[in-house]
Amino acid sequence: AATAPRVPAPRLALHHLDASYSLQLLGLWPGARAALLCQPKHGALLNNFAAPDHVAQELELLNAGDFVSEASKKAQRGAAEEESGAREEGSAKGRSRLPGASVSSNIRCYTFPRGDISRFRPARPDALGLLDYYLMDAASLLPVLALGVQPGDFVLDLCAAPGGKTLALLQTGLCGHLAANDISISRTKRLYQTLQSYVPREVRETVSVTSCDGRDWQQLEGSTFHKVLVDVPCTADRHSVTEVDNNIFHKRRTKERQMLPMLQLQLLMAGILAAKPGGEVMYSTCSLSSLQNECVVE
């Protein structure tokens, strides 16, 4: 062990994912594997507090499209077709709540078409110093969209840093109050920086930022929130197979990685207990692992 060459953490991560996901995903794994190893494509989340329409026009001239509005239109068409079919049958049985049907039109996120690997320019400040858009993995918006915040909702983002989802929640313009928490003080500082760079002071005053262990949230504010987002720490598959820094597959972090499902379960339970009776909780990860997703929820 002392003389054997050290295996870099990304290679160790890829070996682990190959062994587990080839069994879990079967024929889907080769495509997913290639996607994880490709350079990530970012989406540009428009900042409604700063970005005038000319920024959206600029992005459209680059052939980028707002995937949120496109998904919402598809969902509405599907709902109309389903309703029409139900009327023809004389019954509305089987009607489902379609994802995106109630998406807030305030959230706009631009992405380049499939196969286009163009990069967005860095965000620019407006006259008040607020940046015009936030670059993020567009898939990170999906939990926020699925949460379906309604006007006046009290919302908790239990694991909020570095702040992309918190910012997206504020873009809805619907939060009556938003609590953003993260256990890491250094990551909470990044959250503060994100809010200061994108959100005017009067809106920031409606956000309470804390840095405590999310598992203890019930002791602070139990049964309080209409909507709770629990975006838990996970193996972060793309990061793990491409980055050396802060890689959870480093051999020194083996025990921490093995304990992730238990931590995730505890955070999810805390999120459930933080919600009001009848409230909604969204659990999400950036991992394909069924142990960190379906098994935790079950």
Known binding-site residues for S-adenosyl-L-methionine equal 159-165, 182, 213, 231
Quote the tokens at residue 45. Answer: 């989340």
**What are the CA-CA distances from residue 109 to residues 15, 79, 87, 161, 166 (Å)?**
34, 23, 35, 20, 15
The answer to whether residues 102 and 148 touch, using CB atoms and an 8 Å cutoff, is yes
Q: Is the peptide bond before 162 cis (omega within 30 degrees of 0)?
A: yes
Residue 286 bears catalytic tag: yes
Active-site residue (options: 109, 234, 286, 295): 286
Secondary structure class of 140 (helix, strand, coil) = helix
Distance CA 157, CA 163 (A): 9
Amino acid residing at 231: D
Binding-site members are 159-165, 182, 213, 231
Q: Which structure tokens are listed for 5? A: 């060459």
Positions marked active-site = 286
